[in-house]
Chain A
């Protein structure tokens, strides 16, 4: 297993376009998390899944954002009508049940630049 994989690594898009990111977690991890990190800040929680169920969404996740994990394996994060303020690193993390807040494995992120 090569860890948490995110694709693409970098996305440049024009304002108003839609973008979709993919995360492939560690295969035996049933919990998957999305975070956003802007320059000079720590990662901020967006949403998480337990298997295919989306259990929690942050107030940061506006209605232009949607996340799915249809079969409890990979997840996608879509941003519609992108704005310049959406420019950030989008991080995915996964963990197995019972490992606590210290059991997270993060991917290398997708860096979004909205021009």
Chain B
């Protein structure tokens, strides 16, 4: 079982829609969670990170963590065509030397059409 699972989509929505992107994770010990956005032919860029259960809001984006069900979500309000990208959830997996690195889900492709 992978440490973090994500539906690859694609998810196609009209402009202005509310988008919900989801991931499940396997290890209840993870303390914080990240969402990255990756445009075509670009590297991932950090969108949001959140430490605790509950919601964290940043503009049109809201990250939500439910530790009891090991479920993380990203909501995008008033979606725009410029939001079309792949959204990757990530957890901080530990390396053998004790460092932590982002370990990614496979990403969900989002298409927002005008």
Is B105 touching A42 in the complex (CB atoms < 8 A)? Answer: yes
Is A93 touching B106 in the complex (CB atoms < 8 A)? Answer: no
Is A107 touching B43 in the complex (CB atoms < 8 A)? Answer: yes
Given that A40-B106, A43-B44 are contacting pairs, would A102 and B101 also be in contact in the complex, using a CB cutoff of 8 Å?
no
Q: How many residues of A contact B (CB 8 A)?
A: 23
A109 to B43, CA, bound (A): 6
Smallest CB separation, A33 vs chain B (Å): 7
Is B100 touching A4 in the complex (CB atoms < 8 A)? Answer: no
Q: Residue-by-residue, is B46-79 near A (CB-CB < 8 Å gives 1, otherwise 0)?
A: 1001000000000000000000000000000000
Q: Which of B70-114 contact A (CB under 8 A)?
A: 88, 90, 92, 95-97, 99-107
Whether, in the assembled complex, A48 has its beta carbon less than 8 Å from a beta carbon of chain B, the answer is: yes
User: Which residues of chain B come closer than 8 Å to A76, judged between CB atoms?
Assistant: none
Is A101 touching B102 in the complex (CB atoms < 8 A)? Answer: yes
Given that A40-B8, A100-B100 are contacting pairs, would A106 and B32 also be in contact in the complex, using a CB cutoff of 8 Å?
no
Q: Residue-by-residue, is A39-52 near B (CB-CB < 8 Å gives 1, otherwise 0)?
A: 01111110010000
Q: Which of A1-34 contact B (CB under 8 A)?
A: 4, 33
Nearest B residue to A102, CB-CB:
B49
Smallest CB separation, A69 vs chain B (Å): 16
User: Which residues of chain B come closer than 8 Å to A40, judged between CB atoms?
Assistant: 8, 106-107
User: Which residues of chain B come closer than 8 Å to A105, judged between CB atoms?
Assistant: 45
Q: Chain A interface (Cβ within 8 Å of chain B)? A: 4, 33, 40-45, 48, 55-56, 91, 93, 100-102, 104-109, 111
